[in-house]
Amino acid sequence: MSSNCIFCKIIAGEIPSVKIYEDELVYAFLDISPINLGHVLVIPKEHHQSSSTVPEATAGRMFRVGSRIGIALKRALDYDAFNLHLADGAAAGQVVMHVHLHVVPRGAEDNFRWNWRQLSYASDAERAEIAEAIRTRLKP
């Protein structure tokens, strides 16, 4: 438990939350400011700031539970789809520094658009260089 972490306090029951699911590895609850109603956060019970330090079994559980909740959202609230979203680091939009997987229920006409863009590589050489730089730094 990290003493100043609001999500650790939620797991400890010191801050209220609306629980959706819990097991020995993860806890899931309603986001307080949902993109769409039913938006859920899945968090590891152990405090980790980044997804990169979460043990594989827990990371796998987060993803699995997130998907199951996504399906439950479609069945329960008649949504068409869902996004699984994880912001790792402030520049990526992470505000709460206890890693969390967003399960965002989506409707075909919910008028929410991710601010997505599509750049291109200047050349095949640039693309190859970037791919090689990533591959050589990929830790097991």
Least separation, in Å, of the C-beta of 19 and ligand AMP?
Answer: 11
CB count in 10 Å sphere of residue 101: 23
Going by the DSSP 8-state scheme, the letter that residue 105 receives in this structure is: E
Going by the DSSP 8-state scheme, the letter that residue 3 receives in this structure is: T
Residue of 45, 68, 41, 71 whose CA lies nearest to 58: 45
Only segment of 53-61, 75-83, 94-102, 118-126 that touches ligand AMP (CB under 6 A): 94-102
Q: Is 5 in the site for Zn ion (CB under 5 A)?
A: yes
Residues 12-71 close enough to bind ligand AMP by CB under 6 A = 15, 17, 31-33, 41
Q: Select from 6, 37, 81, 128 the one that contacts ligand AMP (CB under 6 A).
A: 6
84 binds, among ligand AMP, Zn ion, none (CB under 5 to 8 A by kind): none
Least separation, in Å, of the C-beta of 10 and ligand AMP?
Answer: 6
Burial of 29 (0-12, 13-18, 19+ CB in 10 A): buried
Q: How far apart are the first and last CA of the chain?
A: 27
Q: Is 8 in the site for Zn ion (CB under 5 A)?
A: yes
**Alpha-carbon span 75 to 121, nearest angstrom:** 41
Least separation, in Å, of the C-beta of 35 and ligand AMP?
Answer: 8
**Active-site residue flag, 48:** no
SS3 22: strand
Active site amino acids: 100
List of residues contacting ligand AMP (CB under 6 A): 6, 15, 17, 31-33, 41, 87, 93-96
